[in-house]
Amino acid sequence: MAGLYWKLLLQGEFGILSYYLSLVGFPNAKGILSDGHTILVTLALVDFWQWGPLTALVFLAARSSMSSTPLEAAYLDGASRWRAFVDVTLPALWPTIFVVSLIRAIDSFKDFDKIFVMTGGGPGTASELISLYTWRTAFKLWEFGYGAALCIFVYLVIYCGTQFTLVKARKGTLQ
């Protein structure tokens, strides 16, 4: 649904957002979904629009569950707001930041629907991510073996990346 919504907003001649962007001074706003230079940034912004509020809510919940005692102690010791954030709040939020970042990274590997609806992988192959390439290989080109091998490869990349970051996080060297 998000992909269809943004496709209608950014549609060349009739999209309301592309119209207003062209009025503000973006010369290529009417072709934002068909320009190979802007399509990945546009897709990233749409993904952030879709999942940014959820991640912010998770961070807010983690921040709200923190004890206020360490922050009060930092303020009593003369720490500025920035130093208290960097030295007290950020280390306390690190496990939440790690988990949310890991989940979003894994989710970005399987992002298919928005890209398929908005661009179909185009223009050309400018926005064809691995998920769309795998689908196209298996179901458009009828190469099921190669498509299955791509799925296994993506799984192994995600698994190895996750294990690497988990090992680093356990050692405490990821910060």
pLDDT at 164 exceeding the cut of 80: yes
Average pLDDT over all residues of the chain: 91
Contact (CB, 8 A) for 77 and 144: no
pLDDT in the model for residue 174? 60
pLDDT at 1 exceeding the cut of 60: yes
pLDDT at 83 exceeding the cut of 60: yes
Provide the residue ranges of all domains of the chain, joining segments of one domain with +: 2-128, 129-175
The band of 88, judged by pLDDT with boundaries at 50, 70 and 90, is very high
Average pLDDT, stretch 131-135?
93
What does the alpha-carbon distance between residue 80 and residue 36 come to, in Å, rounded to a whole number?
Answer: 45
pLDDT at 162 exceeding the cut of 80: yes
* 0.85 exceeded by pTM: no
Q: Which class is domain 2-128?
A: mainly alpha
Average pLDDT, stretch 84-100?
92
The band of 159, judged by pLDDT with boundaries at 50, 70 and 90, is very high
